[in-house]
Chain A
Amino acid sequence: MEKTWNNKAWFLVLPVLVLVAFSAVIPLMTVVNYSVQDTFGNNEFFWAGTDWFTEILTSPRFWDALWRNLIFSAVILAIEVPLGILIALNMPKHGPGVPVCLVLMALPLLIPWNVVGTIWQVFGRVDIGLLGYFLNSLGISYNYTQNPAHAWATVIVMDVWHWTSLVVLLCYAGLVSIPDAYYQAARIDGASRWSVFRHIQLPKMKRVLLIAVLLRFMDSFMIYTEPFVVTGGGPGNSTTFLSIDLVKMAIGQFDLGPAAAMSIIYFLIILLLSWVFYTVMTQSDAEQN
């Protein structure tokens, strides 16, 4: 069939282009602009070339924050994905339990992020927090403001509490789309519980799991609000993730040039890792055919 070329079509996408330009492209270009210049205020700029990039890439501070962030994301995925699948598998498929479970699951997702942080900040406090006070009265000396391990545990448990529901809801959506005939056929074929999971449920959940893993990776890699509210990146730098470090650099120290360079590096890392995840997971799908 002959394709019709019509430049009027550009007008139809114009509103979106304008919106994206203002919300993404222009700010990004501004950041690129900052990253190659130096400024001392008064709107005076000096060409700095790739100096800031070199500085960031050779600074131990950046690499420490990157490693912390990678470990954090890995731990989050390793806990939330299996836990989410497990909860989704055990949620009722019919009856009055369904809306109850769905509401319970959606609840943490509806709470504003800084409120989540505040809840856990108070919850973990040694003097008035339910968790902190309780643990200490059991003889476990728990204090997230002093012990880096405790701070990490608190941030991870908080993230699991906050975000596992997302994985659950996505997996649940995949599970309820499986027709009953599959389970009946599996019973007739004498399949074990594990076989049913491995050969029926997992393949049907694969697509939504890909989305869940991608979303959880990107979100955990960009995590800012909750640890900022709970630990403020401390004690020391133990929970200073990339985004917290970035904000400290840009707003705390007003080092606009290095902060801009770091933003771009940060952006490229997320882009690269998301692409790797996506390719690996869709590739294994393609190989099967």
Chain B
Amino acid sequence: MARISLEHIRHAYSPRAQAAGDYALKEVHHDWEDGGAYALLGPSGCGKTTLLNIISGLLQPSDGRILFDGRDVTQLSTEERNIAQVFQFPVVYDTMTVFDNLAFPLRNRKVPEAEVEKRVNEILEMTDLAGMAKRRAQRLTADQKQKISLGRGLVRANVNAILFDEPLTVIDPHMKWVLRSQLKRLHRQSRFTMVYVTHDQTEALTFADKVVVMHDGQIVQIGTPAELFERPSHTFVGYFIGSPGMNFMPVAVEGKTARVGDQTITLDNAPALAGQGRIELGIRPEFIKLGREGMPVSVNKVEDIGRQKIVRATFCGQPLSIVLGEDDEIPTDAKVSFEKHAIGIFADSWRVKNQTAGQEG
């Protein structure tokens, strides 16, 4: 177990990279606390897997250093870093039995056979594979194979960190649930540092203590699930987390007042704008009240998704989503009001701090 520090890591797949756009991973400077459960969340192609492979040593970063507990491991091989990693698609050794597959990482490291037996049996129990320990791995189903891959990642007792690269993609939904809670339990017992890459926000939010949101080769926000929801620091986080995503609309800000179209919204605090380009106001659909008071809005469509209703409306020419409870009324002449604490002002996609408090607001 170790604290993993990434110091000014950048990576380009082409050795001739010059412009920032050539980098698959723009500068990442971040510490992963010892024993933390992190999720790396972002869409396909945002650099999640690149970052993961740099941590495990499968890739050498173009620039920067990686430290484990303060020791520079940038030049060390995967094996010397003592990292476990589980990949998106199942990797099993066809010629071996399920048991031997799980024992493989231990036997390669000359772990005594009694210890191997004990560890493997624990993992077999956990992954629900105990009944097929003696079977060849070749003819198993995709999700059984992936459970073996997962098991091989978890079997070693002394790893510095366990990295998961979208490990549950091929597992069926019910089993996904079970395995995810088992991973969570395992994390609480073992306190391994775990990094879990996914593009599924539910998976990220349920697994991790801290979620790292990546977009276009850089980390845009690191926070608890609640922080990501309530105070997204980038418009991308607003869109990506939550369903439906955050509403954004162009706005003109003067002191404590924000102007959207012909409507004026008073803010709690004045945002500290410094003449940036595109200014937007962001508000989550959950923090908009629909009633008879407030600003005029025209309702286009109501989607009933069971416990909630999603209202698709137009506000000052901008699309607006609103989430209501299942029993909430939608008046004919509907008006909206925004909960002030939930309003965020974004300049060129990044959240703007408040002038007075000096904190994010």
Q: Report chain A residues within 8 Å CB of B149.
A: 185
What 0/1 readout, one digit per residue, does chain A (181-212) give for beta carbons within 8 Å of chain B? 11011011111100100111011000000000
Q: Is the CB of B108 within 8 A of A189?
A: yes
A97 at the interface (CB under 8 A from B): no
Q: Is the CB of B87 within 8 A of A181?
A: yes
Q: A199-B96, A288-B136, A289-B139 are in contact. Are A192 and B89 (CB under 8 A)?
A: no
What 0/1 readout, one digit per residue, does chain B (75-103) give for beta carbons within 8 Å of chain A? 00111000111011101011110000000
Interface magnitude class on chain B:
20 to 34
Q: Is the CB of A185 within 8 A of B108?
A: no
Residue from A182, A188, A195 in contact with B85 in the complex, judged by beta carbons closer than 8 Å:
A188
CA distance A221 to B337 in the complex (A): 89
CA distance A203 to B96 in the complex (A): 11
Q: Report chain B residues within 8 Å CB of A288.
A: 94-95, 136, 138
Q: A199-B95, A203-B94 are in contact. Are A190 and B109 (CB under 8 A)?
A: yes
Interface residues in A144-174 (C-beta closer than 8 Å to B): none
Q: How far is the CB of B141 from chain A (nearest CB, A)?
A: 14
Q: A188-B83, A189-B152, A199-B96 are in contact. Are A179 and B108 (CB under 8 A)?
A: no
Q: A181-B89, A190-B109 are in contact. Are A203 and B95 (CB under 8 A)?
A: yes
Q: A189-B105, A289-B136 are in contact. Are A179 and B78 (CB under 8 A)?
A: no
B236 at the interface (CB under 8 A from A): no
Q: Is the CB of B136 within 8 A of A185?
A: no
B104 at the interface (CB under 8 A from A): yes
Q: How far is the CB of B293 from chain A (nearest CB, A)?
A: 57
A residues contacting B by CB (< 8 A) are: 179, 181-182, 184-185, 187-192, 195, 198-200, 202-203, 288-289
Q: Report chain A residues within 8 Å CB of B139.
A: 289
12 contacts between A and B (CB under 8 A): A185-B85, A185-B91, A185-B149, A188-B79, A188-B85, A188-B105, A188-B153, A189-B104, A191-B104, A199-B94, A203-B95, A288-B95
Q: Is the CB of B58 within 8 A of A187?
A: yes
B193 at the interface (CB under 8 A from A): no
B218 at the interface (CB under 8 A from A): no
B residues contacting A by CB (< 8 A) are: 53, 56, 58, 77-79, 83-85, 87-89, 91, 93-96, 104-105, 108-109, 136, 138-139, 149, 152-153
CA distance A187 to B85 in the complex (A): 10
CA distance A172 to B317 in the complex (A): 61
CA distance A190 to B57 in the complex (A): 13
Q: Which residue of B lies closest to A203 (CB)?
A: B94
CA distance A288 to B79 in the complex (A): 30
CA distance A187 to B58 in the complex (A): 8
Most A C-beta atoms less than 10 A away, residue of B58, B139, B153? B58
Q: Which residue of B lies closest to A195 (CB)?
A: B108
Residue from B58, B77, B89, B136 in contact with A179 in the complex, judged by beta carbons closer than 8 Å:
B89
Q: How far is the CB of A283 from chain B (nearest CB, A)?
A: 15
CA distance A185 to B94 in the complex (A): 14
Q: What number of A-B contacts does a CB cutoff of 8 Å give?
A: 59
CA distance A215 to B88 in the complex (A): 38
CA distance A287 to B41 in the complex (A): 44
CA distance A191 to B77 in the complex (A): 13
| Extra A-B contacts (17), CB below 8 Å, given A184-B58, A289-B139 | A181-B87, A181-B91, A184-B87, A188-B56, A188-B85, A188-B105, A188-B153, A189-B104, A189-B152, A191-B104, A192-B108, A199-B93, A199-B94, A199-B95, A199-B96, A200-B93, A288-B95
CA distance A192 to B109 in the complex (A): 10
Q: How far is the CB of B52 from chain A (nearest CB, A)?
A: 11
Q: Report chain B residues within 8 Å CB of A189.
A: 104-105, 108, 152
CA distance A185 to B89 in the complex (A): 11
Q: How far is the CB of B80 from chain A (nearest CB, A)?
A: 10
CA distance A289 to B95 in the complex (A): 9
CA distance A162 to B209 in the complex (A): 63
CA distance A184 to B105 in the complex (A): 13
Q: Report chain B residues within 8 Å CB of A181.
A: 87-89, 91
Q: Is the CB of B84 within 8 A of A188?
A: yes
CA distance A191 to B103 in the complex (A): 12
Q: Report chain B residues within 8 Å CB of A200.
A: 93
Q: Report chain B residues within 8 Å CB of A203.
A: 93-95
CA distance A203 to B152 in the complex (A): 20
Most B C-beta atoms less than 10 A away, residue of A195, A199, A289? A199
CA distance A185 to B91 in the complex (A): 7
CA distance A188 to B82 in the complex (A): 8
Q: Which residue of B lies closest to A185 (CB)?
A: B91
Nearest 8 A-B pairs (CB), nearest first?
A190-B108, A185-B91, A189-B105, A199-B93, A181-B87, A203-B94, A187-B78, A188-B85
Q: Is the CB of B85 within 8 A of A289?
A: no
CA distance A3 to B149 in the complex (A): 43
CA distance A185 to B56 in the complex (A): 11
Q: A181-B91, A288-B138 are in contact. Are A187 and B79 (CB under 8 A)?
A: yes
Q: Report chain A residues within 8 Å CB of B89.
A: 179, 181
Q: How far is the CB of A44 from chain B (nearest CB, A)?
A: 63
Q: Report chain B residues within 8 Å CB of A199.
A: 93-96, 104
CA distance A192 to B139 in the complex (A): 25
Q: Is the CB of A182 within 8 A of B79?
A: no
Q: Which residue of A lies closest to B110 (CB)?
A: A190
Q: A192-B108, A195-B108, A288-B136 are in contact. Are A187 and B77 (CB under 8 A)?
A: yes
